[in-house]
Chain A
C-alpha cells in the first residue's frame, strides 16, 4: 500500500503538470473564445440561439467520446492537441451562457443611464455592463474550471499525460490507491483553481489591488508549476541518457512506447522501455490509449512501438472474420500491416492472450459444462469488455453454440473476474493470460469448433521506428521470449499482489534472462 503511494508520488510532478497545462490552456482558450462571442451574442438574438445551441450540444457529448472523436478530427494526432481542443470545447458553454445571461440581465434602466450620460456603446459595455455582469460571468468561469479540470482525466486514453493516468492505470491494475490518488489530486486542483478565480472576482468587485495581486501571483505560481516539471523532467532525462554514453545503437533517440489500458499492456510497455533504455534510447510513454487510437497513432508514427494481438488486428484492421489458424493469421496480419501501413511486426512475444469463456468452478459444476457448447439454452449472463460484443467472434460463438438466449453484460474488464467469482454473472470472456483465472479458480471452457481466434501478442513498430534497424535490434530479444505462464505470473503479481507494473516487468526481465 505504502509502496503504491510512494510510486504515486514519484510520477506526480509529471501527471500533475500535464494535467495543469492541459486544463489551464483549455480554460484560458475557452474564455478567450466565449467571452467575445458572448458579448456579441448578448446583443444579437440571431447569434445567441445558435451559439448556445452548438455549445450545449457539445456539452451533451460524453467527455470520453468528445476527446476520442478529436483524434480522427485532427487527422490521427494523439496527445496534447486533441485533449486540448476537446476540453476547450467543453469549457465554452458555461462561460458563453453566463456571459450572455449576465449581460442580458443588466437592468435596461442602467443601460439607458449609461447612454444618457454620454457613454458610447463600448464605454457602456466596459464600464457598466461587464462590471455588473461580472459575478455571473465569473460563476460561469468557475463552472468551466471545475468541469475542465475534472474532464481532463479523460485525456489519458488519447495519449496526453494527466491525473487520469492514475485512474485508468489504477482501474486496470486494481490499484485503488492510484485511483483514489488521481481522483483526490484532480479534485484538489479543481478546488484550488476555483478559489483563485473566486478571489480574483472578489478583488475585482472590491477593487482591492492587494488581493488582485495575490491572486495573480497564485495564478502565476500555478502556471509556473505547470510548466516547470516538464522542463526539469526533460533535463533529468537528458542527463540520464548522458550516463549511458557507452550504450550502443539508440543513444539520444526518442522512442515513444504506447500501451492499451490494461495490466498486461502496462507491463509490456515497462519491459519495452527497459530494453530500449538499455540501448540508450530516451523513452516517452503513452499509456492507456484506446484500442483504435493506439493503432492509428502507430500508423502515423505518433508512437513508435506497442504490443497488439493478432486476433484483434485480424478483426479490426484486416476486417477478417474467418479463422485459418494461428500461424496463418500471424503471417497474413504481418504482411498486411507492412503492405498497407508500413508497420513492421517483429513477431510474437511468445504467448497468446485470447478471449476464453470462463466460469467459476462451482458454476461450471452446477451446469455440468466443460465446453461452450454446454451453455446452449441455459440463459446465462455473459460479462465481457464492451469491445467483445461488437467483434465477429461473439456473433460467431453465438451462432455456432446456440447462445441466442444468453444476456450480454458489457463491463470494464477489471470487474468481470470478481463478478463471475461472486456469481453476479455466469460466464465471462476472460483474457487467458490474466492472473485472476488461477487466483479465483476459474475454469476456461473448451472451444471445440475453434470459433475464438488466436490472440498472439505481437511487437509492432511504426513506419518511422521500422526505418531504423537499431529499434528492431533492441527489441529482438523479446521475440518468443515470454511463455504464457510467465505472462500470467507477471499479471498476477500486479492484479493480485499489488505490485507496480514496473516491478512486474523487472521480474519478467529477470526471468527471460535480461
Chain B
C-alpha cells in the first residue's frame, strides 16, 4: 500500500469472518473502510454480527479469517494491548470502573501509556470540558453518583483520552432516554468536528445512523447487505431489509410532520 493510502485509510477490514463455537457464523466476509475523520455506522438488528465485527477490530475477539489493517498495519502483527491503547473503545453499557472516580476512569489509558501525571491531569480536565461536564464538579465523582447520560459522557471521554485516531462505539447512545440521547448525539457531532477522529459506530437505530454517519453498513445474519452514504440508502435501498429498517424512522418523521401541519 502506498504511503498516501496509509494516510487515507485509518481502518480497512477485508473478508472478515468469525465462527463461534456451536457453528454460528457471526460475521461472514465483512469488509469496511474508514478514512481519517470518517464515521462509519454499522446498523442491523440484534444478533446480526455488529458487535462481533467491532470487537475483531481491536482484537477483543480473534477474527477467524480476513485482514484488518489499522493505519496500514495488520492488527494481527501488533501486540493486542498496544493496539487497544491506540484505539478508543466505548462499550455497550458504559463499562466504567465502578471503584474509580471520573478522573481516574478517564486517566486509565494515558496511565497505561505512561504519560506524566501533569499531562494526564491537564488532559482529564480538557476532556471533561469537551464532553461538557464541569471538571470541578465531576472530577472526583464515582460512577454510581452520576446519571446515565453523564456516565456515557465519561465513557466517551475515557475512550478519547489518549488521542486515538479511531474510536469504536458499541450502542453508545442506545440505553439513554430520547432527550438525553439527542443532546449527547449533538455534542458528539461537535466533538468529532473539533477532534477529527475516525469512528465505527454500532447501532440498531437507523435514525441515529442516518444522523451521525458518513457511510452506513447494513448487516443481517453476519453479512453486509448494503453499504452507502445515508442519502444512498434512503434514495436507493438495495435490499428489502434496508427498506424495512428505514421504514421506522420515516414513519415517525411523517407522523410528527402530520401533527405539525394539523396545528
Query: Which residues of A approach B to under 8 Å, CB–CB?
Result: 107, 109-110, 112-120, 123, 128, 131-132, 205
Contacts and interface: CB of A to CB of B under 8 A. Distances in A.
A128 B111 CA distance: 14
A37 to B, nearest CB: 24
B70 interface: no
Most chain B CB within a 10 A radius of its CB, from A107, A114, A116, A128: A116
Contact of A118 (B81, B95, B96, B99): B81
Contact of A117 (B82, B92, B93, B112): B112
A118 B93 contact: no
Contact of B95 (A113, A120, A132, A205): A113
Interface in B96-141: 96-99, 108-109, 112
B58 interface: yes
A25 to B, nearest CB: 31
Interface stretch (B18-26, B83-91, B237-245, B250-258): B83-91
A123 B112 contact: yes
A118 B85 contact: yes
Interface in B58-83: 58, 60, 81-83
Given A116-B58, A117-B84, A119-B81, A132 B89 contact: no
A317 to B, nearest CB: 61
B225 to A, nearest CB: 28
A118 B58 CA distance: 9
A113 B92 CA distance: 10
Contacts of A114: 97
Contacts of A115: 60, 84
Given A118-B109, A118-B112, A119-B112, A113 B84 contact: no
Given A117-B158, A118-B109, A132-B99, A109 B93 contact: yes
5 shortest A-B CB distances, which residue pairs? A118-B85, A113-B95, A118-B84, A116-B89, A117-B108
A118 B162 CA distance: 11
A207 to B, nearest CB: 10
Contacts of A116: 58, 60, 84, 89, 91, 95
A411 B112 CA distance: 65
A132 B98 contact: yes
A117 B109 contact: yes
B89 A117 contact: yes
Contacts of A120: 81
B23 to A, nearest CB: 23
Contacts, number: 49
Which secondary structure characterizes the binding site on chain A?
helix
7 contacts: A112-B95, A113-B95, A114-B97, A116-B60, A116-B84, A118-B83, A119-B112
Contacts of A205: 99
Interface of B: 58, 60, 81-85, 89, 91-93, 95-99, 108-109, 112, 158
A113 to B, nearest CB: 4
A110 B95 contact: yes
B123 to A, nearest CB: 15
A116 B108 CA distance: 11
Contacts of B83: 118
A123 B112 CA distance: 9
A117 B81 CA distance: 8
Given A113-B96, A115-B60, 7 more contacts: A107-B98, A113-B91, A116-B89, A117-B85, A117-B89, A117-B158, A120-B81
A120 B84 CA distance: 10
Contacts of B109: 117-118
Contacts of B158: 117
Most chain B CB within a 10 A radius of its CB, from A114, A119, A123: A119
Contacts of A128: 97, 99
B200 to A, nearest CB: 14
A105 to B, nearest CB: 12
A155 to B, nearest CB: 39
Nearest to B59: A115
B81 A109 contact: no
A110 B97 contact: yes
A242 B82 CA distance: 70
Contacts of B96: 113
Nearest to A132: B99
B99 to A, nearest CB: 5
Contacts of A109: 91-93, 95
A123 B99 CA distance: 15
A60 B84 CA distance: 47
Contacts of A132: 98-99
B99 A131 contact: yes
Nearest to A107: B98
A182 B58 CA distance: 62
A58 B170 CA distance: 48
Contacts of B95: 109-110, 112-113, 116
Nearest to B112: A118
Nearest to A120: B81
Given A117-B109, A123-B112, A112 B60 contact: yes
Contacts of B84: 115-118
A113 B112 CA distance: 14
